[in-house]
Structure formats: structure tokens, C-alpha cells
Chain A
Amino acid sequence: MSDQIEPIAPREISVHDVEFEQVVQNGQKGFFDQLQGFWVTFITMFKKVNTVQYPEEKEPTAERFHGRHQLNRHEDGLEKCIGCELCAWACPADAILVEGADNTEDNRMSPGERYGKVYQINYLRCVFCGLCIEACPTRALTMTNEYELADDSRSKLIFEKADLLAPLRQGMLMPPHPMYPDMEDVNYYRGDVKGSHPSQDVQK
């Protein structure tokens, strides 16, 4: 083996070998052809205006538009968030703050051991990249199509857990309440829980 690296042979192909096609360059247009532009602007005046009258009329966003986040619930109302902080770690803008806490028997917010006690998203930092959604192991965090996120102070744009939580739907119970009878947390994640059980309704 030679101790010298063999130099790469110069490429055989040169500019001259490439097949070229002449493109006709018409050059400057005549005076009357140049006047066509005036016709274009004139006729455009009578075309339908493209503007959406935004605050009065709202057009739906694209289906998968990245809007405000939402913290989802299981079908019986328990929160999906387990306070693992993976979203916060994934966030490139450091916009998410999560503090987890232990579930106890008389204060159960989510199936399993832990739940997200504090959940904040700072919408002044969020870049809506969706990496948090990809990171979430329980599909607790998703994004909605809501885009009207302007406000007049910094503090108002830090959304708390209460602002982000999905509303209770039909058949859901407001946590804290116990898990569905005879169901483990794994059953929850598999989607075996289809609704709440009367025994879960402890507040009654």
C-alpha cells in the first residue's frame, strides 16, 4: 500500500461537453407591447378582490395548522399529562415549564404515578414548531387551529394549565377522581377506557 493518497483524477466532463440549447432572447419589447402592463392593471380593477375581511369573516386554517396547544383528557376525564417534562426538554425555544407531582388515592389527576401539577406555555417564546407534540408519550399535548393569540401584556401570554386543558366532554368527570375500576394505567394508554364509571363520581 502506498502511503500517498492517490489524487482524484480531474473530471473528464467539461462545460463544452454538455449539450446546450439556444434560447431565443427577444430583447426589448416594442412600445405598444410594453403598454400591455396598463391593460393588466386596468382589468384587475374589475376582478374580485382577494382580501378576507378578517375580523368579520374568518376562513378556516389549514387542517394541520399549528395553533394554540391543548392538554387532552382520557375518556373518563382524567388528564393525559403525566408530568414527564419531555415536551419541555424538546422545546427549542424553552417555552414550556412543567412541574410534575405524585398522584395519591384521594387526589388523582391522571392514571399512573404522576401528573403535571404546573403546566405553562409561554406564547411569547413559542415558535409553534410542534416538537413538543412529537415528544409527548401519551398524546396529552396536541395543537389546535386557534391562532388569535394576541394580548396586551407579557403575563397574559403565559398560558397556565387551566387555560390549556381541554374542556370536559360528554361522559367525562372533573378530576380528581379514582381510575376506572379494574383498569390499570396501561389500559388507559391503550384506549380501553371508553367513558366514566358511576363509581368514579366521588364528588356526588
Chain B
Amino acid sequence: MSTTAQLIGADPGWLIIVKAALVFIVCVVLTIMSVWGERRIVARMQQRSGPNRVGKFGLLQALADGVKLALKEDLIPAAADKVVFILAPIISATTCFMSFAVIPITGEVTLFGHKTAMQLTDIPVGVLYVLAIASVGVYGIVLAGWSSGSTYPLLGGLRSSAQVISYEIAMGLSLVAVFIYSGSMSTSDIVAAQGKWWYAVVLFPSFVIYCISMVGETNRAPFDLAEAEGELVGGFHTEYSSLKFALFFLAEYVNIIAVSALATTLFLGGYHALPGLGFTETWLGGWFTLIWFFIKVLFFFFIFVWLRGTLPRLRYDQFMQFGWKVLIPVSILWILVVATLRVLSLQGASRAVVLAFAIGIVIIVMAVNILFENSKTKKKNMPVAQSAKPSFAVPELPIQVSSISVSQKGGDRV
């Protein structure tokens, strides 16, 4: 049996072009549908009905929005750096499509009489390539914010890039455990390695860290500080209009789909069926795996929408603290544990040794947690330092407030 890399390597040129076109179409169609889907789902979560005017169930709403955007006046601010201003959305939109090239969408199928797999290319460092492309995508945001020549876009762009960069570290670290376990960075090998157990189960902490950091990475609620409407108008794309804005809009949603697809590939067994339903993978000549893949991607997409419908936006400093002080240290520690376990099992250590190590880790984590909690309660109970009375006049404090008090009788305020 040949590997996916060999299978794809044998593709003739025309098939590669067909597959590239298919990947592009899938991205665009999925984006359009996901914009509609998101609006409908969020609407239902708020007991509204959402867009239902354009086409059946409002299915063509995103298309209508696109047409509207395309027909709008394209403004370039006088203070903008023209070349960069035009370049930024192009960078954003192209890079988000590129990461799809290494995502395996189906297993082995027959396309126009050729045995192949629906994956545009398979490179040995596929996941690193995705991370690299995502980093290039940040340029789109930074440059858009900078070149607009305006305050809010600049602030939004800075926030956005700081956010994407810091969450990319946590994201990359969470993937290291996957690399260690699968022994490969190629997406198809990682999917193949999950034939028995999904990494979402085996490497659960990595999965959780990835899920959190992918929301931060895509600038989505509750981490959408870059476009905090109340503070920054529209964030980095405030000055953009017409098709250039549409490109940013497209990029955001393609990015969501891309990180969801990557999560599917790395943690949920890619195009493999749910456990126990493995026989479905041969249905329709292997094309049924496509359905499994999209079910998993849409599951992640629903999580995105659910988060947006439920959680309020984080404060910027809390968000950064969470990324740098929680996610990154936790994932580094987790990598250490995973690496040790992996080395132990590869060198043929007995099950007892592995178990002892695991129990040791659990005990250490619990001990640290208890110490942490203790210091927290100690800090809480410490008396507040009383400063000397200031030399200038200050109003007298009415009471020592330790908790909020209200008058006893309901409406009877004195």
C-alpha cells in the first residue's frame, strides 16, 4: 500500500489544476454558507430568525452581501499609503486560501479515472507550512492598520497582530505534542496515525489549548478585541470599503474554516469516520470520507458560533495574560510530559514505569495547585495596608466597606 504522499505525487498536471480549483471552490462556497450559517445560528441563540429574505431560508444572503460590497464606492483615504493599502487585503485573502493546500479532505478516491486523494499537495512539513502561512497572513492585518493613516485602524492592527502572534505560539506548542506522537509533520501521516485513537482523546490538553488558541488566532469572539466596535470602530479594516473590505471579510471566514480543518486533521482523525463507523469509509468509492471531514469541520464551526453567541469580549490585558501566563507555560509543561512518556514507551520501558511517571506528574500538579490556592487565600486574608493620612483634604469615608450594603426595607431608601 502506497502512502498518500506517493499517491498524490503521481498526479498528472491537469489533475493538480482541477484539484486546486476544487479546493478554491470548496473554500469560497463554504465561506458563503458559513456566513449565512453563523448569522442564522447566532440569531436562533437570541430568539431571532436571522436572514431569511434572500432566497430560500435566506441562503443567498452572503452572495447578496458580496454583490452589495462589490458595487459600493471604493474609498482610499487621502492619508493612506496607497500601495500598501491595496496590498494588505490581497495578502490577507490569498494566504488564508493557501493553508488549505495541505489539508487532506478525503482518503483514497478515484477522480476522472485517476487514483488519488483530495489533498492538493503533501509536504513533509505540512503543518509547519500552515503555521508559516498563518504568520504571513498577519502582515495583511498589520499593513492594513498601518497604511490606513488613521488612529483606530492602527490600534486595531497592533492589537490584532499582537494577539495573532502570541496565540500562534500557544498554537504551535500545542501541535508539538501531535508531532511527537505521530512522528511526522505531514498532515496525511498525522491523519493515518489516528486510525485507532484520535489525538483529541490521547492528547486532550493539547486539543483544548489548540481550540482556545485557534479562536484567538482568528480574531473571533470572545477574542475579537481587534475589532471591538465599542472601542475601535472596526479595528484594522475601519477605512476599508467595497471589494477590499470584502476580501478581509472573506479572509476572516476562510481562516475560521482553515483552522477548523486543521483541528479536524490533527485532533479529530481528519476524514476518518467516527469510531465504530469505519465501514462507511469505503462507501461511494471512498468519497464518503468527504462527508465525515465536513461534519467535523462544521462541528468546529458551530463551536465558533456558539462561543460568539455566549461569551462577552475579553479585556485586552486579561486576554494577553491568559495567552502568555497560562496557555504557553501549560503547553510547554505538557510537551515535557508527552515527550518523556513517548521516549519511555519507545525505549521499551515497562508499563509500571510509565504508570509511575504518570502518577508522579499528577501528584506534582496537585501539589503545585494546592500551594497556589493556599497562597491565594493567604493573600486574600492579608490586612490591607493603611497609608498615612494625606496632607490634602479628602472626604471622610462613611463606613469601612467590605461588602455592598443596602437599606433593609426594599424601596425605602433614606
Q: Which residues of A contact B (CB under 8 A)?
A: 13, 15-16, 18-25, 37-38, 40-42, 44-45, 47-51, 53
* Residue-wise interface mask of B (39-62) relative to A, using a CB-CB cutoff of 8 A (1 in contact, 0 not): 001001111110000000000000
Instruction: Compute how far the CA of A151 lies from the CA of B399 in the bound complex, rounded to whole angstroms.
Output: 60
Count: A-B pairs, CB below 8 Å: 56
Is there an interface contact between A41 and B306, defined as CB atoms closer than 8 Å? yes
Q: Please, how many angstroms separate the alpha-carbon atoms of A23 and B401 in the complex?
A: 12
The answer to whether A44 and B405 have CB atoms under 8 Å apart is no
Per the bound structure, the CA–CA distance linking A44 and B309 in Å amounts to 11
Chain A nearest Cβ from B395, distance in angstroms: 12
Instruction: Indicate whether B414 reaches chain A with its CB closer than 8 angstroms.
Output: yes
Q: Are A19 and B44 in contact (CB under 8 A)?
A: no
Q: Which of B44, B306, B404, B406 contacts A38 (CB 8 A)?
A: B306
Contact mask for chain B residues 122-140; partner A; CB cutoff 8 A; 1 contact, 0 none:
0000000000000000000
B405 A22 Cβ-Cβ under 8 A: yes
| Cβ contact within 8 Å between B47 and A20 | no
Q: Which residues of A have CB within 8 Å of B47?
A: 44, 47-51
| Chain B, residue nearest A13 (CB) | B414
Contact call A19/B408, Cβ cutoff below 8 A: yes
> Whole-angstrom distance between the alpha carbons of A107 and B309 in the complex?
67
With A22-B405, A50-B47, A50-B48: A45-B310 Cβ-Cβ less than 8 Å: no
Report Cα–Cα, A163/B151, bound state, in Å.
51
Using an 8 Å CB-CB cutoff, how does the interface string of B380-410 with A read, 1 for contact, 0 for none?
0000000000000000001100011111100
Interface residues of B in 280-328 (CB under 8 A from A): 306, 309-311
The B interface is mostly helix, strand or loop, or mixed, namely loop
Near A by CB (< 8 A), chain B positions 7-56 give: 41, 44-49
11 contacts between A and B (CB under 8 A): A15-B399, A20-B405, A21-B406, A23-B406, A41-B306, A42-B45, A44-B44, A45-B44, A45-B45, A49-B48, A51-B48
Bound CA span A15–B49, Å? 51
Other-chain residue from A13, A18, A49 in contact with B44 (beta carbon distance below 8 A): A49
A22 B403 Cβ-Cβ under 8 A: yes
User: Once bound together, how far apart are the Cα atoms of A32 and B46, in whole Å?
Assistant: 22
Q: List 8 A-B pairs, minimum CB-CB distance, nearest first.
A: A20-B405, A45-B44, A15-B398, A41-B45, A51-B49, A41-B310, A49-B49, A41-B309
Q: Which residues of A contact B406 (CB under 8 A)?
A: 20-21, 23
A22 to B398, CA, bound (A): 16
Contacts of A21 in B (CB 8 A): 405-408
Residue of A nearest to B396 (CB): A15
The distance in angstroms between the C-alpha atoms of A132 and B41, with both chains bound, is 46
Contacting pair A25 B407 (CB below 8 A) = no
If A38-B306, A44-B46, A44-B47 touch, whether A20 touches B407 (CB-CB below 8 Å) is yes
Decide: B403 and A37 in contact? CB cutoff 8 A. no
A25 cross-chain contacts in B, Cβ below 8 A:
403-404
In Å, the complex CA distance between A51 and B405 comes to 40
A35 to B414, CA, bound (A): 39
Residues of A within 8 A of B408 (CB): 19-21
CA A35 to CA B46, docked complex, whole Å:
17
Set of chain B residues within 8 Å of A45, measured between Cβ atoms: 41, 44-45
Q: Is the CB of A42 within 8 A of B407?
A: no
Contact A18 B404 (CB under 8 A): no
| Closest residue of B by beta carbon distance from A19 | B408
Question: Would A23 and B403 be within 8 Å (CB), given that A13-B414, A18-B414, A38-B310 are in contact?
Answer: yes
A23 and B406 alpha carbons, distance in the complex (Å): 7
What's the minimum C-beta distance from B46 to chain A, rounded to whole angstroms?
A: 7
In the bound complex, CA of A9 to CA of B406 (Å): 27
Query: Contacts A49-B44, A49-B47, A50-B47; is A19 near B407 (CB within 8 Å)?
Result: yes
Docked complex Cα distance between A48 and B48 (Å) = 9
With a cutoff of 8 Å between Cβ atoms, the chain B residues found around residue A40 in the complex are: 310
Q: Which B residues are CB-close (under 8 A) to A19?
A: 407-408
A102 to B107, CA, bound (A): 92
By a CB distance below 8 angstroms, the chain A residues around B44 are 44-45, 49
Find A23's partner among B48, B306, B405, B414 (CB 8 Å cutoff).
Answer: B405
Which residues from B are CB-within-8-Å of A38?
306, 310
A19 to B48, CA, bound (A): 46
List, in ascending order, chain A residues with CB within 8 A of B407's CB.
Answer: 18-21
**A45 CA to B47 CA, complexed, in Å:** 7
Residues of B within 8 A of A15 (CB): 398-399
Contacts of A51 in B (CB 8 A): 47-49
**A48 to B: closest C-beta gap in Å:** 8
Q: Given contacts A20-B406, A23-B403, A25-B403, is CB(A44)–CB(B311) below 8 Å?
A: no
**Residue of B whose beta carbon sits closest to that of A42:** B306
- Chain A residues with Cβ below 8 Å from B414 are 13, 18
Given contacts A42-B306, A44-B46, A45-B44, list 15 more A-B pairs with CB under 8 A. Answer: A15-B399, A18-B407, A20-B405, A20-B407, A21-B405, A22-B403, A37-B311, A38-B306, A42-B45, A44-B47, A49-B48, A49-B49, A51-B47, A51-B48, A51-B49
